[in-house]
Amino acid sequence: MVQAWYMDDALGDPRQPHRPDPDRPVGLEQLRRLGVLYWKLDADKYENDPELEKIRRERNYSWMDIITICKDTLPNYEEKIKMFYEEHLHLDDEIRYILDGSGYFDVRDKEDKWIRIFMEKGDMITLPAGIYHRFTVDEKNYAKAMRLFVGEPVWTAYNRPADHFEARGQYVKFLAQTA
């Protein structure tokens, strides 16, 4: 099951867990109220997984590729890691399925506080369009992930502030309705 918690305010290495003391866990229902969806799948059979195929069909995730985030395989690794960790939003949902390794997605809650979501092998997440978020690998410096899209991929990230985009306005409206 996915682990999520409110982050501490420490400015140290983003690849560390940043769990506060005392711990402030966040459950799946709270993530759902932010529009974040989660599935636990069998990553060892991702190529022929009927459950993954069902999710892709139901949610129209028609495009996919696989990215390996590690120093040995990702060109400009350090630059990319910094870019992934900049707070940003997308105009489309961001769908990631961890096939191996691990990392963290950080998302903003309704009060603009960071929630850290630990992602490891078998975890699949959808972040809604318009949500401010960021990603980093953990201290193992390795994650292999499937990236899924509805239609052709759009890779554009809009760093904060990006409140003028329609996707952000729709997301803020969604948050107000789930209050």
Q: What CATH number does residue 47 fall under? A: 2.60.120.10
Residue 126 belongs to a domain: yes
pTM above 0.95, yes or no: yes
Residue 88 is labelled as binding a ligand: yes
Residue 26 belongs to a domain: yes
122-179 pLDDT, tens per residue?
Answer: 999 999 999 999 999 999 999 999 999 999 998 899 999 999 999 999 999 999 998 7
Residue 123 belongs to a domain: yes
Q: Report CA dihedral (18, 21, 25, 26) to the nearest 10 degrees.
A: -60
Residue 30 belongs to a domain: yes
Residue 177 belongs to a domain: no
Residues 6 or more apart whose CB falls under 8 angstroms from that of 76 comprise none
CA atoms within 13 A on the CB side of 93: 22
Residue 94 is labelled as binding a ligand: yes
How many structural domains compose the chain? 1
Residue 164 is labelled as binding a ligand: no
pLDDT attached to residue 56: 98
Rounded to an integer, what distance in angstroms lies between the CA atom of residue 55 and that of residue 88?
Answer: 26
Domain encompassing residue 9: 3-170
Residue 178 belongs to a domain: no
Residue 98 belongs to a domain: yes
Rounded to an integer, what distance in angstroms lies between the CA atom of residue 67 and that of residue 104?
Answer: 15
- Residue 10 corresponds to which tokens in the numbers above? 């420490």
